[in-house]
Structure 1
Amino acid sequence: MSFKNILAIAFVISIFTFLSFSIQKKHQYPFQNSTLPTEVRVDNLVGLLTLEEKISQMVNNSPAIKRLNIPAYNWWNETLHGVARSSYNVTSYPQAIAMAATWDTTSLKTMANYSAIEGRAIYNDSKRQGKTGIYLGLTYWTPNINIFRDPRWGRGQETYGEDPYLTGTLGKAFVRGLEGDHPKYLKASACAKHFAVHSGPEWNRSTFNAKVSDFDLWDTYLPAFRDLIVDAKVSGVMCAYNAFDGQPCCGSDKLMQKILRDDWKFTGYVTSDCGGISHFWRTHKTHPSKEAAAADAVLHGTDCECSGDPTYRALLKAVNDGLITEKEITTSVKRLFTIRFRLGMFDEDKEVPFSKIDTSVLESAAHKAHALKMARQSMVLLKNEPLKQKSANVLPFGKGVKKIALVGPNADDKTVMLANYYGFPSYISSVLDGIRSKQGIEVVYEKGCNLIDNKVFKPNWKGNNFSFEGKPGFQVAYFKNNKWEGKPAVVSRVPKINFQWGDGEQVAEGIIANQFSMRFTADYKADESGEVVFELKGDDNVKLFVNGEKQIDTDLKGGYYTLKVQKGKIYKLVIDYLQYSDNAEIEFNMGTIETASPATIASRVKDADVIVFVGGIAASLEGEAMPVSVEGFKGGDRTNIELPKIQTDVMKALKATGKPVVFVNMSGGAMGFEWEAANLPVILQAWYGGQAGGQAIADVLFGDYNPAGRLPITFYKNISDLPDFEDYSMDNRTYRYFKGEPLFAFGHGLSYTTFKYSNLKISKSPKSNEILVSVDITNTGKIAGDEVAQLYLAHKNNSYKTPIRTLKGYQRNYFKAGETKQLQFKLGYNELSEVNSLGKLELMKGSLDIAVGGAQPNAVLISQGKSIQKQFIFN
């Protein structure tokens, strides 16, 4: 070897030694070195932790480990339809069930991407401020891909509907949009929930034991989870509250060990639903102690416990008692830190491409435009007929419509648009806002009734009547607990009570909206004798005291109190509010209550050219484990599916005027409005439309947008169509097994134009076990619009139970007037297989009915060319 080569080698060695020394000096520990593989970094970090420190990281609110410079992190965040419960103004998209009604995977992927961008902006801004609290992290416990098997389930609004295929395809699009495609870093972490066999009732979820056959398990309840876990590689899973076959879902041998970890090889993290581990020993009573519950959950692969009072605190004693080993705890902790490393939380900002996203992206023009687009896409026109024979359909409104009467409980309600698990946008469009935005239209607004009664509150605020110690307004005392205990941390004064805060947002100096309480105090001086009505609303718990006596004490809904007053007399008011969690909202108003008959309401609007009634229900009545108990509703669920009677009575009176009545229904699930379907010319299913919902509804009514939404659920006629709510068998449930005649079928939705299907071609692909399908679709109408082509398959010679028919493909496309497009579908092994009685996927050969159309096939649609069907022999 030459001297020159020796010098070169020596130089390289010296450079390597210098760089190694520099890296070592820069990185005290290997886990801080971003050039090392993630697995190596995780092993190093977790290896440095004590047992106590490991256990501390297994709860949603994980504390900092200062000696290793590991920051605190709260795993709990939400982005069901936009970033939720944030202290920042964010973009609010339509509720999940409404987004499912778009039947558009591209739109949903874009929405998830935009939500991840806004979430990154909030995380980055919070990180710069040193904030690490709840709803600031990058681990989003979304999407909810449980099957909406029964319309009575209040949380069904959070899902993508009743069909496993539609749910799976939409869920995969959401995961890919939220998590991104960077080779190293997750943009955000998605979480498939609630695993599994979970869809109500809400009122007994902490004790309920779901029992299903292997066939139903694999045919209905698990396919979407497999799509997200195996195909989309989702990074997180949340296990469910209820039990399955006698074991809590978070400790299920079959679900958690056999299927999730062993069969599907899931390597991501699993979180419990919040408080779910305590149900092991408190309510399910399947475990004798906290220690047994905590150990069993971890042994089954539940890595993180979400709880304000964690059962996982007992893990240290569980180790000492021999119920679990430190090695088994280490496995879970490694899964958790792997996610944090994949999110870039231990790398310098310059290395993580998403760290540059700032708050300027919040409610950006593109995001708001997409919220409007998805709200429009979600509108399902269920019925549109002429008022009289030989006349045009009522919708869209023609030039002759100059005066519109807008009636109904949801007509001017902005909050109804936000559904549940929501964030606060800067502006929300109500239906009244949307219609008033149309040029040349006179609008007469009359609320007429509430959702469930006709006691309509009419505000008449008189701020000068309220004072404290002689000065106008209310004294407000803030407490750093949600029990009004001890000395107030802050005392100030406000002129009126109307506040909204995201969880963790600063509400006063040193007070954040998280487990806090407020007390408002004022003297009310009556300026005239008579009756005054106080309205009090709050997101959690609100109380009203008048002269020391409690008059309102309620969760969520709020209430009214009528006070008989004498002119000049002073009444001492105290209003208490506490926040359990999530958003903080409180509003106090005064006015009167009017109880008008349906006939009176109709008489006020009879001169309009057309009457639009905007009703339905709201997330104040249906949702997650809610303290609601009024006729037709129970604990967040419904006990029947009929529209509240008062609304039908009002619409009957409106119809009697002889004017066209357009019914716009808002709900998170199917409604059984039989009278409306039989007697009104128009029904528009508008769901909960997000910040642009009112504008989207108006655009559809006036024909500025041609509706093309399709039902992701079956609308049944009444509750007699349904099996018992607690029966988890799929017999006679959903379009796949329902043998009756629905009110409106899964996949149904009308347009202002018409489409014809022709030239259906089916052939076996050169590839084994694959069928190719093509069809021509022509817009035969005079205006452009979207069409949702749906492909259904039915096996005709099966030797065991299969669905009546099942969705196996769909495409949403835009067509100009007169335009023809050829669409192609590919049916592979999964699409051509069915689940046998043992729960195994089996390729089905023989006679198949393959139909493509704008809805489920039937004789009428096929005769009209709106659907086309052929039999194909697959061998």
Structure 2
Amino acid sequence: MKFNCCFSQLTILFLLLVGGGKQAMAQSKNYAFLDVKKSREERIQDLIARLTLSEKVQMMKHEFKGIPRLDIPAYDWWNEALHGVARTAEKVTVYPQAIGMAATFNTVAVRQMGDYTSTEGRALFNEDLKAGKTGKRYRGLTYWTPNINIFRDPRWGRGQETYGEDPYLTGQIGTAIVQGLEGDDPHYLKAVAAAKHYAVHSGPEHNRHSFNAEVTPYDLWDTYLPAFRQLVVKAKVHGIMCAYNRLDGMPCCGNNILLNNILRQQWGFKGYVTSDCGGINDFASGHNTHPDNTAAVSAAVLAGTDLECGNLYQLLEQGVKQGALSEKDIDVSLTRLLQIWFQLGMFDPQALVPYAKIGREVIESKSHKAHAYKMAQESIVLLKNEHSILPLDPNKIKRVALIGPNANNGHAQLANYFGTPSEIITPLSSLQKRYGKQIAIDYFAGTEIMKKIDGGPSFEEIVKKASAADVIVFVGGITADYEGEAGDAGAAGYGAFVNGDRSTMASPEVQTTLLKELRKAGKPLILVNMSGSVMSFDWESQHVDAILQAWYGGQAAGDAITDVLFGRYNPAGRMPLTTYKSDADLPDFEDYSMANRTYRYFKGEVRYPFGYGLSYTNFEYDQLNAPAMVETGTDIQVTVQVTNTGERDGDEVVQLYVVHPKEGNYKVPNSALKGFQRVFIKKGRSQKITFTLTAEDLALVNEKGELIQQTGSVKIYIGGGQPGKSVGGKREITMQGTAYRPY
């Protein structure tokens, strides 16, 4: 059986008669678990008491077939919502890929996207419920998102699903997604998010079912766990998906330290844990840590994996009979799963559930499509703008040569784990719609992603045609066919891609070759790159006039790109990843040490830093204020004034970094992002920005994985990017008092 990693959705235990809004037959039987006057705990225990061991075990599998004797219908936990409702046959709104959302540095917009996504998901679920057609995959309310693994290596194909390389940015964007998806009702959940893949999971893809990740306690607590802790402790996420790999020799879905000690005891997690799909099969056959599948499923449940996405948990009955675990152990996991169903309102009268009224009219609504467009705009990062070639003036441009394999490739814009919208706006369709009546547009795909087009025009013919244009716009990059999850990506026949991972950061050679030929035309040459990770841009950064990093921008990517090219939108996206200069800068892919990885620990020079992005206007920073002396264990406020000194209105992404001195016995990052705000400032205007730095923000992790605060000086930097790499200001504060240890 083939499994694809990720989400799950809950399938209908709301139990209403079709169309009428009346209570279902089960409620007419006066079961206590349907009595809303009783506490949820009482109702859950009543339901569990009515179940046989076999029925309990079946309810712990993602594809639950229902229990007819109790009139409990089927439910499939597996659903996806990475950047909009995914994998449904319905037309839905599709937002930029997750890495593009991270590039917005806009938690408000991301939370709104999560809210709109669960609104559309609820509409589909409510429709199925009323029709009595529950149990279909990709139609439930349990989403296996967000992916908050750290994008530690740009070669990882699934990194596009994450929010980049930084633990703080990942935690903040992940929090926004969770809050948007799950809603703010005090009694009911709108949907259920699940943070994945827990833990220390960042490739490679080809051996993920047998790979053993080895990390130091320092790297575990400083890099790999903070985002998970943020989502569990602060965002109160209700689901966790455990990873395929082993951590220090034990499969993550059977790892007692990860699931029981850290997740439930230290962090107080009360939700449910699901395996990644087919992950329990790996215990005996991939990791070889368990003698057989019965031992594997028993160990998984005892460690805290409540739900299996897969085909083995029926063996739990045998495990109980053999004494490997008890029926009470089964009840513990089942209680967690039922708690989720009850919080979704699946056993309550529809009139009590505020989200039950959401109807089909919300799907692809005007506001949802407008938000997809807004987020596509905000995700675009202007990496280079030689001689301010951008924005283009449509009144001075008579002819544009639009070239490249992604110039009219709507499929590329949808990335992976995607839904399908009614309309995909490509750069070509947008340019024709916006400027087709006043600007001549010569379009050539030019190449496929990795090779020349069979029977297509030669490069010489393309260059000859492009020479007549006023400007050449090349829209290239790759697609999720070449980077992504093992089994879903990794186009065969090209050495640059291995089971979805990349072996090089270089742009596809055939595209660079065509760009070199186009450069000979002597016309302004602009590169728009679509990808889920960074390209090294070795030749491109030196020879093209402007570079836009457009990611996989979703359904409205074409309009967003056109807006930036012609100045209808002032770009302010920021890089959530470091762009290294060369593949030689990267450590071995399977080395999980953070030494010389990401902006926090890399020692060399980079092409484009984390947090970097240009604008069509300029900003200045002054009046940075912070207390000179701070007691350890306390929070502080930091303020700065930002002024738009340029000629255009625009957004600025204000970033706060903490820099600890490299002294004593503690490891310290080069710098660490601890705050950011995306703000709109009109030209000539100023805005005061306030950050609250918590004691945790000012702390360090020691070699034992403990969070501490040491006395001494700490530098705080606020600017448009990293310290020393952008306009900004810094302030030094002194920490005094007793060391702070919250872990």
TM-score bin, normalised by smaller chain: over 0.9
Tell me by how many angstroms 1:129 deviates. 1.9
- Distance across 1 between alignment mates of 2:269 and 2:694: 24
**Is the 1:394–1:660 contact (alpha carbons within 8 Å) kept by the matching residues of 2?**
no
| Matching residue's letter, 1:640 | T
The answer to whether the Cα contact below 8 Å between 2:579 and 2:607 also exists between their aligned partners in 1 is yes
- Cα offset, 1:869, TM superposition: 1.6
1:100 deviates by 0.4
Offset of 1:119 from its aligned partner? 0.3
Structure 1 match to 2:18? none
Structure 2 CA distance for partners of 1:642 and 1:727, relative to 1, 3 Å: same
Tell me whether 1:611 sits opposite 2:472 in the alignment.
Answer: yes
Residue 273 of structure 1 deviates from its aligned partner by 0.3
Question: In 2, Cα distance between the equivalents of 1:749 and 1:609?
Answer: 26
Q: Which residue of 2 aligns with 1:555?
A: none
The equivalent residue for 2:10 is none
The question of whether the paired residues in 2 share the 8 Å contact of 1:797 and 1:846 is answered with: no
**Equivalent residues in 2 for 1:626-705 (5 A)?**
626=487, 628-629=491-492, 630-705=494-569
Alignment-mate amino acid for residue 157 of structure 1: Q
Contact 2:99 2:161 in 1 (8 A): yes
* Aligned-pair identity (%): 52
1:334 aligns with 2:335: yes
**Which of 792, 798, 821 is the equivalent residue of 2:687?**
821
434, 445, 448: which is aligned to 1:447?
Answer: 445
1:377 corresponds in structure 2 to 378
Q: Deviations over 1:732-770 (max 9, x none)?
A: 000000011111000000000000011111115799622
State the 1:857 CA deviation: 1.7
The verdict on how the C-alpha distance between 1:396 and 1:605 changes in structure 2, with shifts beyond 3 A counting, is closer
How far off is 1:871 after superposition?
Answer: 2.0
- Offset from partner CA, 1:460-510 (integer Å, 9 cap, x none): xxxxxxxxxxxxxxxxxxxxxxxxxxxxxxxxxxxxxxxxxxxxxxxxxxx
Bigger Cα displacement from structure 2, 836-845 vs 706-715: 836-845
The answer for the alignment partner of 2:483 in structure 1 is 622
1:172-192 CA-partner distances (Å, limit 9, x unpaired): 111111101111100000000
Partner residue in 2 for 1:418:
414
How do 1:380-529 and structure 2 match up within 5 A? 380-386=381-387, 392-397=388-393, 399-439=395-435, 440-454=438-452, 456=453
SS at match of 2:149: coil
Residue 161 of structure 1 aligns to a residue whose secondary structure is coil
By how many angstroms is 1:599 displaced? 2.9
Shift of 1:600: 2.9
Deviation string, structure 1 residues 176-223 (Cα, Å, up to 9, x no partner): 111011111000000000000000000000010000000000000000
Residue 517 of structure 1 corresponds to none
Please show how residues 501-580 of structure 1 align to structure 2 within 5 Å: none
Shift of 1:398: 5.1
Query: What is the aligned partner in structure 2 of residue 287 from structure 1?
Result: 290
Does residue 723 of structure 1 match 2:724?
A: no
Tell me, what secondary structure is at the counterpart of 2:607? coil
DSSP 3-state at the match of 2:515: helix
- Cα separation, 2, equivalents of 1:199 and 1:324: 32
User: Once the 2 structures are TM-superposed, how far is the Cα of residue 773 of structure 1 from its aligned partner?
Assistant: 1.0
Contact 2:282 2:288 in 1 (8 A): yes
Amino acid at match of 2:477: G
Query: Which residues in structure 2 correspond to 1:196-345 (within 5 Å)?
Result: 196-307=199-310, 310-345=311-346
Q: d(CA) in 2 for partners of 1:632 and 1:673?
A: 15
- Name the CA distance, whole Å, in 2 between partners of 1:305 and 1:376: 39
Indicate if the aligned counterparts of 1:736 and 1:806 stay in contact, CA closer than 8 A.
yes
Q: Distance in 1 between matches of 2:530 and 2:393?
A: 20
Q: Which residue of 1 aligns with 2:739?
A: none
Displacement of 1:397: 3.7
One-letter amino acid matched to 1:113: D
Give the 3 Å change call, closer, same or farther, for CA 409–179 of structure 1 in structure 2: same
8 Å CA contact 1:795–1:844 kept in 2: the answer is no
* 1:793-832 equivalence runs, <5 A: 793-796=658-661, 798-799=663-664, 800-832=666-698
| Higher strand proportion | 1
Partners of 2:38 and 2:364 lie apart in 1 by: 37
Q: Aligned pair 1:153/2:16, yes or no?
A: no
For 1:599 and 1:631, how far apart are their aligned partners in 2? 27
> Aligned-pair distance for 1:283?
1.1
Match of 1:558 in 2: none
Greater Cα offset, 166-175 or 757-766: 757-766
Question: Aligned residue for 1:741?
Answer: 605
Residue identity opposite 1:449 in structure 2:
T
Q: Do the aligned partners of 2:661 and 2:668 also contact (CA within 8 Å) in 1? A: no
2:348 partner letter:
D
TM-score normalized by the length of structure 2: 0.93
One-letter code aligned to 1:42: I
How many angstroms does 1:847 deviate by?
Answer: 1.0
Instruction: Give the aligned length.
Output: 704
Q: Structure 2 regions of 5+ residues with no counterpart?
A: 1-25, 737-743
Instruction: Supply the AA of the counterpart residue of 1:873.
Output: T
The answer (yes or no) to whether the contact 2:632–2:709 under 8 Å persists in 1 is: no
What residue identity is the alignment partner of 2:683? A
1:11-62 Cα distance to aligned partner (Å, 9 max, x none): xxxxxxxxxxxxx995611110112211111111111100000000011001
User: Per-residue deviation at 1:441?
Assistant: 1.8
Say whether the 8 Å CA contact 1:832–1:844 is kept in structure 2.
no
Q: CA deviation at 1:250?
A: 0.2
Deviation of 1:597 (Å): 3.9
Q: Which residue of 1 aligns with 2:169?
A: 166
DSSP-derived class of the 2:455 partner: strand
Matched letter for residue 52 of structure 1: S
Q: Which residue of 2 aligns with 1:770?
A: 635
Structure-2 separation of matches of 1:658 and 1:269: 60
Match of 1:78 among 77, 80, 83: 80
- Give the corresponding residue for 2:93: 91
CA distance in 2, matches of 1:442, 1:753: 29
User: Displacement, 1:874?
Assistant: 2.3
